[in-house]
């Protein structure tokens, strides 16, 4: 039986600024990637999001990013490997405390934005991320782009890992995500997104922006929580998965199958 983890990037509100529909989305997903205060989120938002996840039985993952609130963590930064490791440790420690405060625990780590995209191709950056996670807790699951350098580095150091695909993002032929600055980077039609998700799970293939079919191997499918149609996407994808008989399971159960 096919199975998948359905995840969403959440906890991205900051101070008086509200972003996303977390309370509505959380009961519909199996794993949440929670912003840790660097690219988005703050201590109050982290506490609230951890509580919502605990109440809904949704597993929690850390979503660490570059320290770039103005750019939402989507601008590149030049940090040394040691700085990246410390960046990861700082953010994992913060969210772990909130998880413990509601009787939960961290399940996984998914880097955010530019950190995620840069690490997909960079062995050095990927290794720094993986080493930061491993030193904090070697049982945490790294959630990384399918076919990326992050997954290769995780396997090399013995860190559990899972491959992620995106419902609302377009792909280049090399399996990387189309840059948001390019036309067609975002999938905005929910029915198109649903069809792509089912195809990735059933056939392990997706159509790149060039029109070429590329191989892809998903353990988890992501919907970005800051998009206007996030809730609609999650609702339709969940309904389609259930109709297709595809089990929706937490990432930890997917990895340990």
pLDDT digits (tens, 9 = 90+) for 89-114: 999 999 999 999 999 999 999 999 99
pLDDT number for residue 207: 93
CATH code, domain carrying 153: 3.20.20.370
| Predicted pLDDT of residue 124 | 97
Cα 82 to chain centroid distance, Å, stands at 23
Q: What is the end-to-end Cα distance of the chain in Å, rounded?
A: 11
Domain that holds residue 107: 3-255
Indicate if the pLDDT at residue 1 is higher than 80: no
Give the chain's mean pLDDT. 95
- Number of domains the chain contains: 1
| The model's pTM | 0.95
Confidence (pLDDT) at 95 = 98
The pLDDT assigned to 257 comes to 78
Residue-wise pLDDT tens digits, 156-179: 999 999 999 999 999 999 999 999
Residue-level pLDDT at 45: 98
d(CA 112, CA 98) in angstroms, rounded, equals 19
How many Å apart are CA 101 and CA 176, to the nearest integer? Answer: 37
Q: What is the DSSP annotation of 93-131?
A: HHHHHHHHHTT--EEEE---HHHHHHHTT-HHHHHHHHH
């Amino acid at each position: 039986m096919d199975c998948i983890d359905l995840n969403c990037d959440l906890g991205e509100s900051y101070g008086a600024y509200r972003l996303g529909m977390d309370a509505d989305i959380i009961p519909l997903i199996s794993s949440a990637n929670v912003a840790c205060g660097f690219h988005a989120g703050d201590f109050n938002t982290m506490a609230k999001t951890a509580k919502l996840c605990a109440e809904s039985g949704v597993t929690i993952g850390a979503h660490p990013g570059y320290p770039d609130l103005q750019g939402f963590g989507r601008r590149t930064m030049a940090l040394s490997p040691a700085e990246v490791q410390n960046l990861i440790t700082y953010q994992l420690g913060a969210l772990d405390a909130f998880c413990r405060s509601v009787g939960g625990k961290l399940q996984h780590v998914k880097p955010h934005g530019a950190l995620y995209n840069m690490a997909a191709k960079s062995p050095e950056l990927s290794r720094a991320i993986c080493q930061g996670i491993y030193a904090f807790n070697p049982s945490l699951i790294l959630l990384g782009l399918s076919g990326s350098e992050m997954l290769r580095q995780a396997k090399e150091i013995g860190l559990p890992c899972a491959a992620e695909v995106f419902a609302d993002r377009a792909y280049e032929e090399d399996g990387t995500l189309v840059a948001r600055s390019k036309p067609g980077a975002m999938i905005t039609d929910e029915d198109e997104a649903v069809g792509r998700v089912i195809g990735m799970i059933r056939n392990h293939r997706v159509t790149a922006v060039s029109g070429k079919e590329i191989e892809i191997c998903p353990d988890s499918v992501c919907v970005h929580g800051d998009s206007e149609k996030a809730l609609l996407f999650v609702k339709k994808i969940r309904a389609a998965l259930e109709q297709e008989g595809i089990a929706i399971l937490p990432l930890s159960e997917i990895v340990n199958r």
